[in-house]
Amino acid sequence: MTRGAFVAVCVFSSLVACGARPSIYDASIGQVRAYGLSESVVVVDDNAHRAVVLSALTDQGLGRSALPLGKGVLKAEASADGQRLFVLSRGDTTRKRESDEKPSLTVIENGAARIFPLESPHSGLSIDPLGRWVAIFAAPVVTSAPVQASFVENPNEIVLVDLTAPGETAVTPRTLRSFGGLPQRVSFTPQLLLPGGPRRLMVVETDQDVALLDLDNVRATPRRPEITVRLAGGTSAIPNRPGGFVVDDGDPTRNDDARLGIRLENSPNVVSLTLVASALGATTEDPSQVPNDFRADVNLADVGGIPGDIVFVRTNAGLRLAAVVPSMKRAVLVDLDTSVTTTVDLPEAYAKFALITNVVGGSGGDTALLYGSGGARGVAFWSLGRAAGQPYRSVEVISLATPVASVLDVPPPRPELKILQGTTANSFYGLNLVTRTASPLTTLAAASLVVSRDGERLWAFERGRTSLAQVSLSDLHPLPVPLDRPIDAVFDVARIGGGRSLIALDARGAVGATVLDAGAPDTAASRSYYGLLLEDL
Amino acid sequence: MSAFLSSFVAPIVLASSSLADATSEPARPATEPQIVEQRESDVIDSERMPALTLAPRFDSLRVGAGVRLNRVDSAGFDAFADNDWLAQLSLDATYAFYTPGRLAVASGIAWDFGERSSNARGQSTRLAVHRLSIPIEARWYFAPWLHVSGKVAPGAVAYKVRVDDASSTQPLTRAPWGLAVDISVGAGVRLLGGGKDYDPRRGRIWLTTELGYGATSSADPSPAPNRDASDVLGSDEPTQLRRLSVGGAFLRTGLALSF
């Protein structure tokens, strides 16, 4: 070998190809979305197609693990009981290979992920509070919502996922008969005693009607149609838009008195539906289907103004549909059999109801808490045990300096407490329903409030700043716990091994967290974590 | 290994005896003046002397500088580089302490230094790697201008890790150590400073190249904010990155000065 050839070999061997790293390292972090479950915090790491699960360990430790998610997260929502997180994903927009992802629903529970493939992407999600069903649909188009999930979408197609069914039978798509309406909300009723037996219903509120679907026969053959209740006025082209519904099973011994009450957003009427046995010989428009074993009897009642909220209540005169009308500063009780109304004047323009009978009891009827941000200062207790006879004596007012924007429930063992958050002022209140007292707590800035699931404490923090305080709900004693980093969210979660921990999330960069003992928060014993989304790549 | 050494030793013995034969005749002293008719065949002509009968000249000291291109297979390396290559500046100095015949066995010290920086999910990352080793090298000289070599270099490797994550006011840093060993084969060709093999000691420049495999023990690179203890709220926990090593095949090319 000549010297020249030898040198050439050396140079050639230096020119070699380079290996590339996994693409996850080049994925930006994007907007951080975190969801609190009862025993963990789930950070949706959309660009990395994964969910990072943070679990509280002893001695302020933080367990970290990652679960796969479908590509392109459209919506994520935790169940009310904090047991599950549901994530809707778009999948690969154009599937080039068999291995490319389809749209999917991922259910995260107990640190594991269960994936349900879907035929098409959807952006709307409704979770059964009893934990069996999930309804997937096209989310209504609003300014703040994501854009339509696919090029063509059928808003009236509802995909039902039965979480208790095996994989191949879990997903049931249903297309609702439509009169031009677009579904706005999908909800699930508790079990109702109907003429055909105990049933659960799915209630779909469109922008002009309401549809009822028998969930217990959703896969029955022959198929049973949904019941559509059209709310459009017969003489007006302007549809009545449902604004929410309430449900009541009625007398537990009767199967023909289950009712739904529907509030209309643009009409002074409230609608009540009584679910009774279907008529003998009833047929369906589609001969391949069989009729339901119940039907809805419709009643209308004028409450004098557009109601802010409705609720079924038990008064000394029987079951009534109560509506609160803020524009008239009044509440109205509707007799469901006769549609006769009873008016109760209110001192403020309350707009919301919350039934508190299960906490404070009621003498001959329910007790409701009235509140609302529409110019109403404070709250009021409405004793419905005497509302029908002496309506003017049934309301007791607790005056506060500010209107109440929201009411936070406190779980047992302190259900008698409600946390009232004002609209503008730097204060909130601890309302004791039993003693009917409202204790103010003031803050230096607008505070975000989180009530722990064990009902023992409240956390107040200033979003994007370091201010954090624990408020003991036993005596409303505030304990300042300022951190050294900005706080974007706090989660009070059960700790593995017993006790509870507070995980304060810092969404900057690759996401950090500070963990404290929730029961005895001490920053000197806290642990700070950094770069959580750089781990386990 | 013994067969390998035997293959070296046999030619060394032969070369040594040839050297003795070649040097004994010119060194023979003349005890008395003699007039001898010179014949053409008696004239020693170094230009015509067969090179293989001569022992090569070994330069005892050698210092080298070059570039080491290291392929890194460790997944932990991905956080710091967008490909699997680590280029390092490579410096070494050796002394040939055993030079029988065409063989030279040398040892000394070597230092390799390389750095990679990248973005991991938008966060700036940097890794500096220092490798300090003791090379033990055997060179076999085919010719005065060409040798091949085999080398073993045990040592230690230091990783200096830095991640600039916005969730921390301070950079996340850590500098773990690990063990390292290189095994390589190579060759060297003399570029400058030739001359005859019997020339007095002088500087010679070589082009060297090696191909080998470097093994390193993996280290936990998990960095944490390097804050003053009085500034820390409770305690700072490290970011758990994947374990890191820089082991893998490598190619080293450089220049060496021997004298």
- Looking up tokens 């500010």 gives A402
Cα–Cα distance measured from residue A297 to residue A434, given in angstroms and rounded to the nearest whole number:
39
Probe site for chain A from B118, B165, B167 (most A CB atoms < 10 A): B167
Please tell me the least confidently modeled range out of A230-244, A262-276, A417-431, A486-500: A230-244
- pLDDT of residue B43 exceeding 60, the answer is no
Q: pLDDT value at position A103?
A: 93
- CB contacts of A20 in chain B (<8 Å) are 82-84
- pLDDT of residue B33 exceeding 50, the answer is no
Q: Higher model confidence: residue B193 or residue A16?
A: B193
Contact assignment for B120 to A485 by CB distance below 8 Å: no
The most confident of A133-137, A182-186, A424-428, by mean pLDDT: A133-137
Of B122, B165, B172, the CB nearest to A28: B122
Contact assignment for B165 to A512 by CB distance below 8 Å: yes
- Looking up tokens 């490798």 gives B131
Contact assignment for A532 to B121 by CB distance below 8 Å: no
Report percent pLDDT > 90 for chain B.
64
- pLDDT of residue A7 exceeding 60, the answer is no
Q: pLDDT value at position A363?
A: 76
* Helix, strand, coil shares, percent, chain B, to 5: 15, 50, 35
The CA radius of gyration of chain B, in Å to the nearest whole number, is 26
Q: pLDDT value at position A358?
A: 87
- pLDDT of residue B30 exceeding 70, the answer is no
Q: Is the dihedral of CA B163, B167, B170, B173 positive or negative?
A: negative
**What are the residue boundaries of the structural domains of chain A, listed by start?**
303-442
Contact assignment for A60 to B240 by CB distance below 8 Å: no
Q: Sorting pLDDT into bands at 50, 70 and 90, what band is A361?
A: confident
pLDDT digits (tens, 9 = 90+) for A25-57: 999 998 899 999 999 999 999 999 999 999 999
Q: pLDDT value at position A290?
A: 87
To 10 degrees, the CA torsion angle through B70, B71, B73, B75?
70
- pLDDT of residue B116 exceeding 70, the answer is yes
Q: CB contact, 8 Å: A509 with chain B?
A: yes
Q: Sorting pLDDT into bands at 50, 70 and 90, what band is A389?
A: low
Probe site for chain A from B124, B211, B237, B251 (most A CB atoms < 10 A): B237
- CB contacts of B167 in chain A (<8 Å) are 485, 506, 508-512, 530-532
- pLDDT of residue B13 exceeding 60, the answer is no
- pLDDT of residue B162 exceeding 80, the answer is yes
Of B165, B209, B233, the CB nearest to A484: B233
Q: Higher model confidence: residue B236 or residue A142?
A: B236
Give A481→chain B minimum CA distance, Å.
11
- pLDDT of residue B27 exceeding 70, the answer is no
| Cβ pairs bridging A and B (under 8 Å) | 139
Q: CB contact, 8 Å: A5 with chain B?
A: no
**What are the residue boundaries of the structural domains of chain B, listed by start?**
59-226
**Cα within 13 Å of Cα(A165), Cβ side:** 15
The β-bridge partners of A210 are A205, A229
Of A526, A531, A536, the CB nearest to B123: A531
Please tell me the least confidently modeled range out of A69-78, A332-341, A523-532: A332-341
Interface ipTM above 0.85: no
**Overall residue count recorded for chain A in this entry:** 537
Contact assignment for A6 to B251 by CB distance below 8 Å: no
Q: pLDDT value at position A240?
A: 86
- pLDDT of residue A530 exceeding 60, the answer is yes
- pLDDT of residue A339 exceeding 70, the answer is yes
Give B213→chain A minimum CA distance, Å.
15
To 10 degrees, the CA torsion angle through A397, A402, A406, A412?
-60
- pLDDT of residue A488 exceeding 60, the answer is yes
Contact assignment for A534 to B241 by CB distance below 8 Å: yes
Q: pLDDT value at position A486?
A: 96
Give B198→chain A minimum CA distance, Å.
22
Compute the mean pLDDT over every residue in chain B, rounded to the nearest whole number.
81
The β-bridge partners of B224 are B173
Structural contact between residues B88 and B68, judged by C-beta atoms closer than 8 angstroms: yes
Q: Higher model confidence: residue B143 or residue B20?
A: B143
Q: CB contact, 8 Å: A12 with chain B?
A: no
Please tell me the least confidently modeled range out of A67-76, A283-292, B22-31, B158-167: B22-31
CATH number for the A303-442 domain, one of 3.30.1540.10, 3.90.700.10, 1.20.90.10, 2.130.10.10? 2.130.10.10
Q: CB contact, 8 Å: A514 with chain B?
A: yes
Residue B246: closest CA among B134, B151, B156:
B156
The CA radius of gyration of chain A, in Å to the nearest whole number, is 27
Supply the CATH classification number for the domain B59-226: 2.40.160
pLDDT digits (tens, 9 = 90+) for A113-161: 999 999 889 889 999 999 999 999 988 876 555 566 777 778 889 999 9
Contact assignment for B83 to A10 by CB distance below 8 Å: no
Q: Higher model confidence: residue A372 or residue A527?
A: A527
Q: Sorting pLDDT into bands at 50, 70 and 90, what band is A112?
A: very high
- pLDDT of residue A435 exceeding 70, the answer is yes
Contacts 24+ apart (CB under 8 A), A337-343: A339/A299, A339/A300, A339/A301, A341/A301, A341/A302, A341/A303, A341/A304, A342/A387, A342/A388, A342/A391, A343/A304, A343/A391
DSSP H stretches of helix in A145-299: 167-170
Contact assignment for A534 to B118 by CB distance below 8 Å: no
Q: CB contact, 8 Å: A19 with chain B?
A: yes
Q: pLDDT value at position A401?
A: 80
Contact assignment for B233 to A514 by CB distance below 8 Å: yes
Q: Sorting pLDDT into bands at 50, 70 and 90, what band is A60?
A: very high
Residue A487: closest CA among A508, A470, A501:
A508
Residue A387: closest CA among A369, A366, A407:
A366
Q: Sorting pLDDT into bands at 50, 70 and 90, what band is A10?
A: very low
